[in-house]
Amino acid sequence: MNRKFVGIVALLVLAVTYTVAGMDNPVVGGKEMYPTKNIIENAVNSADHTTLVAAVKAAGLVETLEGPGPFTVFAPTNEAFDKLPAGTVDTLLKPGNKPTLTKILTYHVVDGRLSATDLMKKIKKGNGSAELTTVEGGKLWVMLHDGKHIMLKDEKGGTALVTVANVFQSNGVIHVIDSVVMPN
């Protein structure tokens, strides 16, 4: 009886250890994100980013975001896209609107791999805010909301909070955001 009990306890300890050890990678959209995969390979697995993935495909940006980078991507969730006026996403996904869609999507990307710590350093150095230049060529401002949450401000005055930071990829980093930021 004692051996059986010890064996069961040992199996439970192994199971818990395996489960905890497997949780080292962030979970986004119900799926683990792996630092050995690129931005696209991870994003396609997130249930929270199906709209973003569809938009990236429609804009023809898959190959770019599979490339070496490094990129910092501020990735709006499906709920973020749902905040846009009714019909906006469907309109943007039409082939004739590819230039506008591309402009909006590349406005969510910054060259380089900027972790949350890097962004915080820039905010501190800028006395409360820092200006980032996007791949699209526009400006995004990063600051703190309530003194602790990273927030973006776009060229139109809209804001987005980083809800999941530091989702590291083989070719950069993703920061999940709760709103779509818009260029001028």
CA-CA-CA-CA torsion sign (20, 21, 25, 30): negative
Enumerate the H helices of 49-184 as residue ranges: 50-59, 62-66, 78-82, 88-92, 98-106, 116-125
- Each residue's pLDDT tens digit, 130-183: 999 999 999 999 999 998 899 999 999 999 999 999 999 999 999 999 999 999
Pairing of strands 27-28, 71-76: unpaired
Report CA dihedral (93, 62, 171, 108) to the nearest 10 degrees. Answer: -20
Residue 104 is assigned to a structural domain of this protein: yes
Torsion sign, CA atoms 145, 171, 32, 50: positive
Domain limits at 145? 27-177
Residue 105 inside a domain? The answer is yes
Selected residue with higher pLDDT from 31 and 8 = 31
Position 6 pLDDT exceeds 80 = no
pLDDT tens digits along 115-138: 999 999 999 999 999 999 999 999
Instruction: Locate the DSSP E strands across the chain.
Output: 27-28, 31-32, 71-76, 109-111, 129-133, 139-145, 149-153, 159-169, 172-177
pLDDT reported for residue 141: 98
CATH no. for residue 43? 2.30.180.10
Report the amino acid identity of residue 134: T
By mean pLDDT, which of 14-18, 31-35, 158-162, 165-169 is the weakest? 14-18
Residue 3 lies in a domain: no
Number of domains in the chain: 1
Whether residue 10 is predicted with pLDDT greater than 80 in this model: the reply is no
pLDDT greater than 70 at residue 7: no
The pLDDT of residue 16: 42
Structural domain includes residue 19:
no
